[in-house]
Amino acid sequence: MDFEIGRSKRARRAYAFDDIAVVPSRRTRNPEDVSTSWTIDAFTFDVPVLSAPMDSVSSPEIAIAIGRLGGLGVLDLEGLWTRYEDAEDKLAQVRELEGDQVTAAMQKLYSAPIRPELIQSRLAEVRAAGVPVAGALSPQRTQEHYRTVVEAGVDLFVIRGTTVSAEHVSRSREPLNLKEFIYELDVPVIVGGAATYMAALHLMRTGAAGVLVGFGGGAASTTRATLGIHAPMATAVGDVAGARRDYLDESGGRYVHVIADGGLGTAGDIVKAIAMGADAVMLGTALARATDVPGGGWHWGQEAHHSELPRGNRVWVGQVAPLEQILFGPSPVADGTANLVGALKRSMATTGYSDLKEFQRVEVVVAPYRV
Amino acid sequence: MDFEIGRSKRARRAYAFDDIAVVPSRRTRNPEDVSTSWTIDAFTFDVPVLSAPMDSVSSPEIAIAIGRLGGLGVLDLEGLWTRYEDAEDKLAQVRELEGDQVTAAMQKLYSAPIRPELIQSRLAEVRAAGVPVAGALSPQRTQEHYRTVVEAGVDLFVIRGTTVSAEHVSRSREPLNLKEFIYELDVPVIVGGAATYMAALHLMRTGAAGVLVGFGGGAASTTRATLGIHAPMATAVGDVAGARRDYLDESGGRYVHVIADGGLGTAGDIVKAIAMGADAVMLGTALARATDVPGGGWHWGQEAHHSELPRGNRVWVGQVAPLEQILFGPSPVADGTANLVGALKRSMATTGYSDLKEFQRVEVVVAPYRV
Amino acid sequence: MDFEIGRSKRARRAYAFDDIAVVPSRRTRNPEDVSTSWTIDAFTFDVPVLSAPMDSVSSPEIAIAIGRLGGLGVLDLEGLWTRYEDAEDKLAQVRELEGDQVTAAMQKLYSAPIRPELIQSRLAEVRAAGVPVAGALSPQRTQEHYRTVVEAGVDLFVIRGTTVSAEHVSRSREPLNLKEFIYELDVPVIVGGAATYMAALHLMRTGAAGVLVGFGGGAASTTRATLGIHAPMATAVGDVAGARRDYLDESGGRYVHVIADGGLGTAGDIVKAIAMGADAVMLGTALARATDVPGGGWHWGQEAHHSELPRGNRVWVGQVAPLEQILFGPSPVADGTANLVGALKRSMATTGYSDLKEFQRVEVVVAPYRV
Amino acid sequence: MDFEIGRSKRARRAYAFDDIAVVPSRRTRNPEDVSTSWTIDAFTFDVPVLSAPMDSVSSPEIAIAIGRLGGLGVLDLEGLWTRYEDAEDKLAQVRELEGDQVTAAMQKLYSAPIRPELIQSRLAEVRAAGVPVAGALSPQRTQEHYRTVVEAGVDLFVIRGTTVSAEHVSRSREPLNLKEFIYELDVPVIVGGAATYMAALHLMRTGAAGVLVGFGGGAASTTRATLGIHAPMATAVGDVAGARRDYLDESGGRYVHVIADGGLGTAGDIVKAIAMGADAVMLGTALARATDVPGGGWHWGQEAHHSELPRGNRVWVGQVAPLEQILFGPSPVADGTANLVGALKRSMATTGYSDLKEFQRVEVVVAPYRV
């Protein structure tokens, strides 16, 4: 069903997580009997949670902590940790920025060059802890740095940008050929954001193990006001899950994981992402509220310090509880920002489902929030 | 009519009370000629009102008062009154909690054990007043305490949880078999919350006399943010009323009462609940505004003190008038929070109906509130 | 097109004036060439404006002023002017009420008896000024006072209540038989509020000259929260205009006037009422903003002082300009609250129409306001 | 698909820019490879931007600056610059107005007569700078002043009013016959606002080179509250683009440019206007935020000082950056108010398009903003 916007253009309705809700079924279940485990390639995780490669969330130390808690920490290999030896100091500087200077100061801080030896040492630190290692590069910098990353040793390689396509056109320089790149690489690749069926299908055909669904940011992003581009997440996840299903058939059985990335601020949002077909979630804002992550209550992404066209802000998300409590409770608050995994389990139990794959079939309704 | 949310998922639109309104017909009637009486099992009530089993609303004293006013007071048998001899003191403590300590302090207060002798004495107090006696347990505690309750003597037995299903699955312990339980019990059972046609139909098949429609809370609940689950009430009541009609046919004439529970903050909401097919309403917030109930202007439910995953808050609802005026006026305010029964009668009269069963047929329109 | 609200209920979408907008056509016209004249029965008015019979708006003096400005002033024959000799003093008292006492004090003031001799003298005052005379009674009091009214001499008789039906049912006393009443009366009758096609059609069959479209109030009303009843005005006017068309056919040519009453706060709302098919508008809030009406910036209706179930408030609407400027400008403000007739003319001219009857055909779009 | 508003009226849904968003496709592109050039008649511009002929935006000096930056500055020939020799002083006066006096003071300032010699000297100043010259008159004043304008020499002649039709009806004086006027004129004419398919088609048949799409104002306008008229921009642009396509066929190949005018406050809005089919945009608010335009952070249009029926306000839009940065960055903010052209290029690149004409085909979705 599409709508006529004007005589020369028709459009589909696209839905945000806030536009929908999960509804109970006729069966209930005990939360203890519910599994949230997730397996991608050779790796099995107790919880379907990846940390977003953003400086406010993922330091080497936090990546290790998340690994130990059963998830996957993903390092941003273009952030402060690979630009500065003393990243901690620089993080403190970002946290303390005030008023009008924020954007300009961040633009300056992030203009320092990326140092290959820091990529190596940061990844080595995580590897030494015995947890799965994952690092993220943008498509623009993948060719320059991927060898360093692979040599340092990663278990999962993440290519993440605002919008990543399998077919990038450039007159000035040879663009990254994703298909060849992934084929030659030894490690599984997770790539995105993709927000539409067709974009995701093409990414799946490159051989990616997983596709990030999103348009480059959540709470801290202003993509819609600056670029006019917006891909409401419930529809985006549902469309990419549709591409997974069709590609499964087309490829004779290759299952590409769908990872929702962006707009996942509460446990309720995570529940809805999986209900719409996601296999796992990449969390920024939701983890930035931990008391022990680098942001210290602040959250920002790479869009916030773009030199010509910043498309995001450093936003205050507050501090709720330590990381472990954010994930597993007990929750000191009743607003869906802590005990994310406990809430997911209870939601699955309340609607009668016992694992994530089954839960992708739960019924949803259109029921917009009233603010 | 359903909508494509994404390629892999379709959904119905679900409506809240705020999304709809009752419209006049071609006939009007005198309010004095209207009856609001409601009969369930052997009991007839002047007003179709049950008090919610919540500590902010239903003390033994208030249950008696509501019974005398023509409704049904329902005691929470897992609240402060069955945990403490000096429940009044504990209620005062809850009312006086401040700021950050509220959730933690409530979790502590409600961790005291439930004492069978208090269940008995609280119910006996209500029985002694000569009004119908009703008490509520959660499904998890029904097996442990129901004998005490039945021996103490109740006229109506209420099993109430966030979501109650006829088919609960548990690996760790034998779940409550509702059908056998209700069959063996001598008193009529009201059970819920159920929010969908299928869940309600299965509950009706267990032999319940009434089904509570809701998802576990109203103004004080944050189920949507924490669990991603939401069942807008107008649609939920209409669906469960549909199950009542179909079960009436299937059972050869057994009429199971539909009781709207949650989201009924004003007289207008009560009107809409009955317009959507409810036989009666269970009121929390609306009664919590009485000057003589225990909450003292505060309102909270069992979700607010869950030990691992609180899904509600103690909220300030204010104090409007004594209970009798809240129900029967005269109303000192014009916002639909007092003279609830007078408003219901006038609404029925204005649209030309003379009893509740007829009024379930009144016409409604989709007309969202603008905030 | 209707929607399933739940399995047991379907509903139409109903639209408020704020949900729609008028769109230009391919023709434009000079505002000076536009006529707003309106003829009902033997009376022709320069502007299709009736003042609402509310104490904040229509005193005898203001009724005269509106008559001289080309509209029709309608006196409330159950307000302060027919209860008190010194109505001016009582109006001053209402204006000066503060805080919590407002509702109770108004209930007291309006409990004084209606005095027939004051009905006569107030109407005589208007008649003496040589303008058309109109007075309004509620259906409940019409039988008691209509003789007094007719003897005092009115040109148009208004029967106005929250909801008026042609078929009122009462066990306690013989209700007003509108059809007989109107048949026997010598003066044309305007009756309402009616908000649906069927209710309006039945009122038209009683012989009424005009039907008021509304549900008993605008900005000052809380009917929706108290009674759950709401009839969004764009749909209500459109439905009643549909009844006018069908009754015209059924009656072999009797044209019953459709008068929008309520929810007309700005010039834009008046434009939309006529676009939806209204022949004229009855204005409360819009005139209450005049500096020379009795409300003095306050506005209230009869619902505000109901003894058992007040369904409205005394609300502050502000003071914008003298009555003449409110109607004809020049406007000192740009928010649609002054120069109402100038704005109507310009709107008609901008869309290419030259009289009110034609303008009822103008195209509208669904385009909800964003607040 | 249209909706029944009431029994006597049906309506289409109309969409604002805020109701829609652009979605990525399967291809991406480098922003440097994207062209934003626009050609109308004999003139080619680097950027598809016209400044709105409003005193807060377009002085002769700014028209020159915009020309040098690759756009088209359009002078208001009925503003302060053609009424006063010392327009700078008068602009300062408007900027300094306070509180209640604003509307009245502006009405007074703008009541001074338009002086032909000032029309000539202002246009000459722009011509002398070697950039394309454009001036705007309202339809009411076109006959009186067009000779002066043509003699002064303009490259593009703009006729701009709230709503302009090809068929204006007047009893008092001979209206402007647009078709004859344009036929006889030597310079290309841009005319509007038109907001519907049919109105635009008729304007295209007059021989206009371009049609302005709008209803007479953006952020500073209150047309909807005062006149009840509203033409949401996404639908309006899409409808007029449909008229362009149909007229192209009807005329055997004459391409009339569609220029969105109004409601374009951010880069995202500009992106959406072109996505809906616009060839270029006329910017008011977006340029009024420049630190070097005359408004000094204030913005107002001709509706704000109408003598009888003001339909707009002088509004504070703030000051963001110098004009050049507003257009080309770098942007100091992340809210879409600066680097408008950079954002447009990036949006085109992100969705895989390389020129404006192609980008008119980009996919959009219905995805209302939540405020």
> How is chain A split into domains, by residue range?
2-366
End-to-end CA distance of chain A: 27
Alpha-carbon span D353 to D344, nearest angstrom: 11
pLDDT of residue C217: 55
Q: Is the per-residue pLDDT at C369 higher than 80?
A: no
In degrees, rounded to 5, the angle at the alpha carbon of residue C122 between the alpha carbons of residues C120 and C127 is 90
pLDDT of residue D198: 95
Fill in the amino acid letter for A199.
A
Whether the CB-CB separation of B288 and B59 falls below 8 Å is answered with: no
Q: Are strands D2-6 and D9-13 parallel, antiparallel or unpaired?
A: antiparallel
> Who among A5, A165, A229 is closest to D23 (CB)?
A229
| Cβ of residue A271 closer than 8 Å to a chain B Cβ | yes
pLDDT of residue A218: 62
Alpha-carbon span D215 to D222, nearest angstrom: 11
Each of the 371 residues of chain A gets a pLDDT tens digit; together they read 789 999 999 999 999 999 999 998 888 999 999 999 999 999 999 999 999 999 999 999 999 999 999 999 999 999 999 999 999 999 999 999 988 788 889 999 999 999 999 999 999 999 999 999 999 999 989 999 999 999 999 999 999 987 788 888 877 777 788 999 999 998 999 999 899 999 999 999 999 999 999 976 565 678 888 999 999 999 999 999 999 999 999 999 999 999 999 889 999 999 999 999 999 999 999 999 999 999 999 999 888 888 888 888 899 999 999 999 999 999 988 899 999 999 999 999 999 999 999 999 999 999 986 54
> Who among C23, C237, C329 is closest to D229 (CB)?
C23
| Cβ of residue A205 closer than 8 Å to a chain D Cβ | no
Identify all chain B residues contacting A366, using CB atoms and an 8 Å cutoff: 3, 5, 11-14
Which of B22, B201, B365, B369 is the best residue to mutate to test the C interface, defined by the most C CB atoms within 10 Å of its own CB?
B365
pLDDT tens per residue across span C240-283? 999 999 999 999 999 999 999 988 999 999 999 999 999 999 99
A260's CB contacts (< 8 A; 6+ apart) are A213, A214, A233, A237, A273, A274, A276, A278, A280, A281, A282
Identify all chain D residues contacting A300, using CB atoms and an 8 Å cutoff: none
Contact C6 B234 (CB under 8 A): yes
Q: Which residue of D has its CA nearest to A4?
A: D1
Confidence band (pLDDT; 50, 70, 90) for B370? Answer: low
pLDDT of residue D220: 60
Contact C227 B271 (CB under 8 A): yes
Mean pLDDT on D176-184: 90
pLDDT of residue B115: 97
Percent of chain D's residues with pLDDT above 90: 78
| Domain boundaries C46-95+103-166+173-321, corresponding CATH code | 3.20.20.70
Fill in the amino acid letter for B315.
V
Q: Is the per-residue pLDDT at C371 higher than 50?
A: no
Mean pLDDT on C10-16: 95
| Cβ of residue C355 closer than 8 Å to a chain D Cβ | no
How is residue B49 written in tokens?
A: 């009102």
Whether the CB-CB separation of D274 and C297 falls below 8 Å is answered with: no
pLDDT of residue B341: 98
How is residue B78 written in tokens?
A: 């897992």
- The architecture (CATH level 2) of B22-366 comes to Alpha-Beta Barrel (3.20)
Fill in the amino acid letter for D74.
V
Whether the CB-CB separation of C6 and B242 falls below 8 Å is answered with: yes
How is residue C318 written in tokens?
A: 């502000």
Distance from the Cα of C228 to chain B's closest Cα (Å) equals: 4
Whether the CB-CB separation of D149 and D124 falls below 8 Å is answered with: no
pLDDT tens per residue across span A297-328? 999 988 888 888 888 889 999 999 999 999 99
Around Cβ B213, how many Cβ atoms within 10 Å? 34
Whether the CB-CB separation of C134 and C157 falls below 8 Å is answered with: yes
Q: Is the per-residue pLDDT at C370 higher than 70?
A: no
pLDDT of residue D371: 44
Q: Are strands B49-51 and D167-169 parallel, antiparallel or unpaired?
A: unpaired
Contact D30 A371 (CB under 8 A): no
Mean pLDDT on B251-267: 95
Query: Under DSSP, is residue D142 helix (H, G, I), strand (E, B) or coil?
Result: helix
| Cβ of residue D307 closer than 8 Å to a chain C Cβ | yes
Domain D20-366 superfamily per CATH: Aldolase class I (3.20.20.70)
Identify all chain C residues contacting B268, using CB atoms and an 8 Å cutoff: 224-229
Write out the E strands in A52-119. Answer: 74-76
Write out the E strands in A171-270. Answer: 189-194, 210-213, 257-261
pLDDT of residue A371: 44
Tell whether the torsion through CA atoms of D1, D3, D7 and D8 is positive or negative.
Answer: negative
Alpha-carbon span B263 to B255, nearest angstrom: 24
Contact C367 D164 (CB under 8 A): no
Distance from the Cα of D243 to chain A's closest Cα (Å) equals: 8
Whether the CB-CB separation of B232 and B15 falls below 8 Å is answered with: yes
Q: Is the per-residue pLDDT at D165 higher than 90?
A: no
> Who among D3, D7, D194 is closest to C13 (CB)?
D3
pLDDT of residue C216: 61
Query: Under DSSP, is residue A12 helix (H, G, I), strand (E, B) or coil?
Result: strand
Identify all chain A residues contacting D369, using CB atoms and an 8 Å cutoff: 224
In this structure, which topology does domain A2-366 adopt according to CATH? TIM Barrel (3.20.20)
Q: Which of residues 21-50 of C touch D (CB under 8 A)?
A: 21-30, 32-33
Whether the CB-CB separation of A351 and B228 falls below 8 Å is answered with: no
Identify all chain D residues contacting C342, using CB atoms and an 8 Å cutoff: 308-309
A7's CB contacts (< 8 A; 6+ apart) are D197, D238, D239, D241, D242, D243
- Following DSSP, what letter does each residue of D120-156 receive, concatenated? HHHHHHHHHTTS--EEEE-HHHHHHHHHHHHHH--SE
Which among C212, C349, C354, C229 is positioned nearest to C273, based on CA atoms?
C212
Mean pLDDT on C79-105: 93
Question: Residue C153 — left, alpha, or beta (φ > 0 → left; ψ -120 to 50 → alpha)?
Answer: left
Mean pLDDT across chain B: 93
Alpha-carbon span A346 to B225, nearest angstrom: 13
pLDDT of residue B371: 44
Confidence band (pLDDT; 50, 70, 90) for D174? Answer: confident
Contact D228 C270 (CB under 8 A): yes
How is residue A279 written in tokens?
A: 């296999």
Distance from the Cα of D139 to chain C's closest Cα (Å) equals: 11
pLDDT tens per residue across span B169-194? 877 777 788 999 999 998 999 999 89
Contact D226 C269 (CB under 8 A): no
Mean pLDDT on D154-177: 85
| Cβ of residue B269 closer than 8 Å to a chain C Cβ | yes
Q: Is the per-residue pLDDT at D69 higher than 60?
A: yes
| Cβ of residue C75 closer than 8 Å to a chain B Cβ | no
Q: Which residue of D has its CA nearest to A15?
A: D367
In degrees, rounded to 5, the angle at the alpha carbon of residue B76 between the alpha carbons of residues B71 and B79 is 145
Mean pLDDT across chain D: 93
Question: C–A contact (≥3 CB pairs within 8 Å)?
Answer: no
Contact C364 D308 (CB under 8 A): no
**Chains sharing 3 or more CB pairs under 8 A with chain D:** A, C
| Cβ of residue A310 closer than 8 Å to a chain B Cβ | no
Q: Which residue of B has its CA nearest to C204?
A: B26
Identify all chain D residues contacting C345, using CB atoms and an 8 Å cutoff: none
Distance from the Cα of B360 to chain C's closest Cα (Å) equals: 9
Tell whether the torsion through CA atoms of C281, C285, C291 and C296 is positive or negative.
Answer: positive
Contact D6 C32 (CB under 8 A): no
Query: Under DSSP, is residue A364 helix (H, G, I), strand (E, B) or coil?
Result: strand
Which of C1, C2, C8, C307 is the best residue to mutate to test the B interface, defined by the most B CB atoms within 10 Å of its own CB?
C8
Percent of chain C's residues with pLDDT above 70: 98
Alpha helices (H) in chain C, listed in sequence order: 60-68, 87-96, 102-109, 116-128, 139-152, 178-184, 197-204, 223-227, 233-250, 267-275, 285-288, 323-328, 340-350, 356-359
Alpha-carbon span A185 to C198, nearest angstrom: 73
| Cβ of residue A197 closer than 8 Å to a chain B Cβ | yes
Identify all chain B residues contacting A370, using CB atoms and an 8 Å cutoff: 16, 18, 369, 371
Contact B165 A277 (CB under 8 A): no
Around Cβ B322, how many Cβ atoms within 10 Å? 14
Distance from the Cα of A65 to chain B's closest Cα (Å) equals: 21
Alpha-carbon span D136 to D156, nearest angstrom: 9
Using CA atoms, how far residue D366 sits from A12, B215, D16, D17, D25, in Å, is 6, 30, 10, 10, 16
> Who among A14, A202, A225 is closest to D367 (CB)?
A14
Q: Which of residues 142-161 of C touch B (CB under 8 A)?
A: none
Question: A–D contact (≥3 CB pairs within 8 Å)?
Answer: yes
How is residue D114 written in tokens?
A: 């338009």
Alpha-carbon span D76 to D126, nearest angstrom: 13
Q: Which of residues 223-252 of B touch A (CB under 8 A)?
A: 224-232, 235
